[in-house]
Structure 1
């Protein structure tokens, strides 16, 4: 990996972190950050010289770097940030917040893509915007998945990068982490795991391609599709976690 690629990927991770932050951002700020992220991703892809299947590998590598830097709050911090809620109510609020965030990103990303669709000379820049939306939505969902583990008291052992890898792989499979699975405490993203991650990211990107439509249809479709997908993920993960561990005392 070249120094230019490293710098581009660090910029990408920083911008995604700002878009994933729990603080509310208005639509104008989201559009500004997504625009910057699109340009940074275009530079990263160019530096990586990826094409075809290589682009999928590049996308997975970029996301692994992002996932390792996501700030995952512990149970006490989550309670503090969510007005003292506990248990299922806290989990419900986390899901509502994440779904609201992915809806907003989908609406902004869809609107950007719609604007590009309406201006044919700029159409070629639209895919970078959809890649940006894909990475931000995936990051929001991985963060949600990780914090649901905190709420349900399901501990994922290991250092920061190992835990990030475990949550990323769980997102790829759309389920919770089972800490009883052999090797889960020393989880690392090997070739098979990276293939699963790449496939999940490419499916998510494919979903976002449906937002490439004229006028406001992209914004409406982008928001609705993201909200539904985030809720489906949350339902599957929560079902897994309930089976694994009872809720901690309120």
Structure 2
């Protein structure tokens, strides 16, 4: 979002257009993918000096925090930030957040294995690629937590309840994207249309494990699950629990920023590893899925 806005005829700044759910989802995906990139090696690896490496890491972290704060603010607008929601912010509970998440899930961009391998050509196997994805998602979640913590300059201002709800939804979206792409990495992609697959990945996020194997080849089962009260209840409980864990990030004077970043990074890394370990033990849908998604060499066409 621009800090300086062009004034209108009255001399007042023109209002910033409200973000759409699709735009917010795309920006979240960009944040994750930007933070996936490994930091350059040091002099021992033939890379730049230690000072340059440290500066690059700090620059990327600060850029991530700024983008995280902007994204949380955008999501807060979408769920009704401002004077009206400030009064009801404390009552913005798990049911409303679950509805928001289920509606937003199909918009979360998910890369297929061919795209992931092309973006990370040094990842020689599924485990190395999964490690990069988990790292990127963890950094993005940390940036979102730090952004909210930095904004908490007063002890629990009313609007911060909405900010926490927005952060919870943003981190959930990051983790759902991670889970969906881990299924791609290990060759157990869900079937069905976009909505059916998104619902399956939301349920996997709520349960902290891979999709039920019996549903991977049954789109009808995924469609039924998307409407199931049990799934929505699981999602609601997970979101409520996540919201409570993020309350310490409201501590003012930047202390909350550090707490929020640490909690988010740890939680996202944990869920990523839990799902990865579950998927590791499964048989891929196709034995040659990894080689079939190999990036094309110069002069060749993709398989």
- TM-score, length of structure 2 as denominator length: 0.70
- Where in structure 2 are there 5+ consecutive unaligned residues? 1-17, 36-59, 292-303
The within-5 A match list for 1:172-187 is: 172-181=206-215, 184-186=221-223, 187=225
The within-5 A match list for 1:108-123 is: 108-113=147-152, 115-117=153-155, 123=157
| Equivalent pairs, count | 236
Cross-structure match for 2:73: 35
As a proportion of its length, which structure holds more helix? 1
Cross-structure match for 1:190: 228
Contact 2:250/2:256 (CA < 8 Å) preserved in 1?
yes
Of 17, 20, 27 in structure 2, the residue corresponding to residue 18 of structure 1 is 27
- TM-score, length of structure 1 as denominator length: 0.84
Contact 2:209/2:278 (CA < 8 Å) preserved in 1?
yes
Shift of 1:249: 4.2
Cross-structure match for 1:208: 246
Tell which has more relative contact order, 1 or 2 (C-alpha 8 A, sep 6+).
1
Query: Is the counterpart of residue 96 in structure 1 residue 105 in structure 2?
Result: no
Tell me: CA distance 1:185–1:55, structure 2 relative to 1, closer, same or farther (3 Å).
Answer: closer
Cross-structure match for 1:217: 255
Tell me: CA distance 1:129–1:172, structure 2 relative to 1, closer, same or farther (3 Å).
Answer: same
Cross-structure match for 1:3: none
Shift of 1:29: 3.5
The within-5 A match list for 1:140-179 is: 140-179=174-213
Tell me: CA distance 1:12–1:68, structure 2 relative to 1, closer, same or farther (3 Å).
Answer: same
- Where in structure 1 are there 5+ consecutive unaligned residues? 1-7
Residue by residue over 1:126-155, the C-alpha shift from the partner in whole angstroms, topping out at 9 and shown as x without a partner, is: 111111111110000000000000000012
Higher gyration radius (CA): 2
Tell me: CA distance 1:50–1:194, structure 2 relative to 1, closer, same or farther (3 Å).
Answer: farther
